[in-house]
Amino acid sequence: MKKSILPGYMAALLFMGVAGCEKKNGDAIVIGKDYVAAVKQGQALKDERATNHEQWIVKVRMLDDGRRIEVRADQTQWEKLRENDQVKVTYRVGKYTGTVWDAEIQ
């Protein structure tokens, strides 16, 4: 019987992902909003950030450390927010690189 190494490999990757980041949250101020339209197949690329789906981006500045973060939001949430609104943000920071990812507005 051959034993698969895939479950062990997947567990190691999961552990590295969890151990390699730190979850943070805090209050932030909305400093801007951005919208990126979706690109249809065969259409010329107008914005390098464009993908096959629309993106609603909220730019925030964290109150505790001044860090600026771009948060992807849904359309309804994006439409409700205005500059200078105070929001709560949860995000992950890479322990080694300091890269912010998986940010969301609560």
- Domains of the chain, earliest start first: 22-105 (2.40.50.660)
Average pLDDT in the chain: 85
- Residue 99: pLDDT over 80: yes
Model confidence pLDDT, tens digit, residues 61-89 = 999 999 999 999 999 999 999 999 999 99
pTM score of the predicted model: 0.74
Beta-carbon count within 10 A of 105 CB: 21
The DSSP line for 39-89 is PPTT---S-TT--SS-EEEEEEEETTT--EEEEEE-HHHHHH--TT-EEEE
| d(C-alpha 20, C-alpha 98), whole Å | 10
In which band, very low, low, confident or very high, does the pLDDT at 41 lie, cut at 50, 70 and 90?
A: confident
- pLDDT, residue 67, reads 94
Q: How far apart are CA 30 and CA 26, in angstroms?
A: 13
Q: Per-residue pLDDT for 102 more than 80?
A: yes
